[in-house]
Amino acid sequence: MTNENKNVPEKDKPDGSYTVFHGALVKKKVLSRRAFSFVSPGFLWSLIFLVIPCLALFAVSFASRGDYGQIEWNFSIDNMKRLAGFGYFGWSADNLLIVWRSIVVAVVTTFLCVVLSYPLAFFLVSRPDKSRTVWLTLLLIPFWTNLVIRTYAWFLALAPNMPLAKLLAEVGAIEPGTALYPSTFAVYIGMVSMFLPFVALPLYTAVEKMDWALVEAARDLYSGGWRVFRHAILPQTMPGLSVGITLTLVPAMGMFVVPDMLGGSRYMLIGNLIQQQFGTSRDWPFGAALSLVLMFLTLSALMASRRHELKKKEA
């Protein structure tokens, strides 16, 4: 505890055990007891169901799977080795490939979302006030619609008898009567439509606050489109952009519903692999090790964006 109210001289206080807290004279002890009683229920809850489980995850990743799917507590790094590809039948790149694919899918999805969100944000700010609320609501509805329903909706929209598949079959891009999934295309279209609002909403907030005089100045000085964007728009919208990127990159890396439904069994991402370990394979230690990898990837993404922000502040 510290004395928050600095402008009360020390001698005016009756004794060191008292402090002035928002105009009330209270005993420090009482104040801290009060603070603890407010914080502790939520804090303990998070400790028991969040922090300790995460530590348990760490511990379990060094155990191994027993014959019946139970956890055997023999300290080993077999799971890490297996992740790196050293299995019973020699080295294979399968697991590493899945991790790599997860990173690629997350990065490409984020990139596509950013590319589509900029026009969308400009479009939204250029709407008159009244219709802007309507457009924003239209953006919020998919944002709040259940993930499973939205993925399922794509499952339906890309089905063989639907206009899109028929059109593509007509052109000869796919076999007539086949669906557009499982495919990379289906995964990306699902992922992008899933995460686009996560980028578009913070970006819209940033674009709304933008100082357009700078854009005009850049135009006056004969900057082309790209240079206007790079030097006048990008720096101003950076805060919103970095929030959007973080909000997309982190969950996209752990996503398993979209690849599961639209990518088929061959399009495994790390999320699917984790789900498999906790589902059919019942290999919790390996699943825990995979989760740690995912956590590591997430933290590095977060650190990168944090560092970027700090650099910005210094500059």
Partner 1 sequence: MRRGNSTGITMTSVGVFILFYIPLLCVAMFSFNANKFGLTWGGFTFDWYAKMFHNEVIMKAAWNTLLLAVVSTLLSTVLGTMLAIGMYRFPWKKKTMGKLDMLLHLPVVTPDIIFAVALVIAFSAIRHFTGLFELGMPSMIVGHVTFQISFVALVVRGRLEMIGHDVEEAAYDLYADHKRVLFKILLPLLKPGIMAGAMLAFTLSLDDFVISFFTAGPKSTTLPLFIYSALKRGVTPEIHALSTIIMILTIVLVLAMQKFTAKNGGEMH
Residues 69-88 touching partner 1, rule: CB under 8 A, are none
CA pair distance 99, 269, nearest whole angstrom: 7
Calculate the CA 36 to chain-centre distance: 32
Nearer to partner 1, 86 or 278 (CB): 278
104 near partner 1 (CB under 8 A): no
Nearer to partner 1, 107 or 153 (CB): 153
CA pair distance 225, 29, nearest whole angstrom: 62
Nearer to partner 1, 45 or 100 (CB): 45
176 near partner 1 (CB under 8 A): no
Nearer to partner 1, 7 or 126 (CB): 126
Nearest approach, Cβ of residue 126 and partner 1 (Å): 5
43 near partner 1 (CB under 8 A): yes
- Which residues 198-237 are close enough to bind partner 1 by CB under 8 A? 200-202, 212, 215-216, 219
Nearest approach, Cβ of residue 84 and partner 1 (Å): 20
Nearer to partner 1, 313 or 315 (CB): 313
H/E run at residue 20: strand 18-21
Stretch that binds partner 1, among 8-16, 43-51, 79-87, 93-101 (CB under 8 A): 43-51
Tokens of 298: 């997430």
Task: Report whether 309 contacts 292 (CB < 8 A).
Answer: no
280 near partner 1 (CB under 8 A): no
Q: Tokens 């055997």 — which residue?
A: 72
257 near partner 1 (CB under 8 A): yes
Burial of 103 (0-12, 13-18, 19+ CB in 10 A): middle
H/E run at residue 43: helix 28-46
CA pair distance 124, 220, nearest whole angstrom: 25
Nearer to partner 1, 86 or 152 (CB): 152
146 near partner 1 (CB under 8 A): yes
140 near partner 1 (CB under 8 A): yes
Nearest approach, Cβ of residue 219 and partner 1 (Å): 8
Among 1, 173, 217, 303, binds partner 1 (CB under 8 A): 1
Nearest approach, Cβ of residue 66 and partner 1 (Å): 14
Nearest approach, Cβ of residue 53 and partner 1 (Å): 4
User: What's phi and psi for 17, nearest 5 deg?
Assistant: -85, 0
Nearest approach, Cβ of residue 89 and partner 1 (Å): 27
Among 86, 123, 185, 188, binds partner 1 (CB under 8 A): 123
CA pair distance 7, 20, nearest whole angstrom: 10
Stretch that binds partner 1, among 10-18, 72-80, 151-159, 233-241 (CB under 8 A): 151-159
Say what angle helices 184-208 and 94-125 make with each other, to 10 degrees: 40
Beta bridge pairs of residue 27: 18
Residues in contact with partner 1, counted by CB under 8 A, come to a total of 97
CA pair distance 5, 131, nearest whole angstrom: 48
Tokens of 27: 């005993």
- Classified as helix, coil or strand, 148 is helix
H/E run at residue 302: helix 284-314
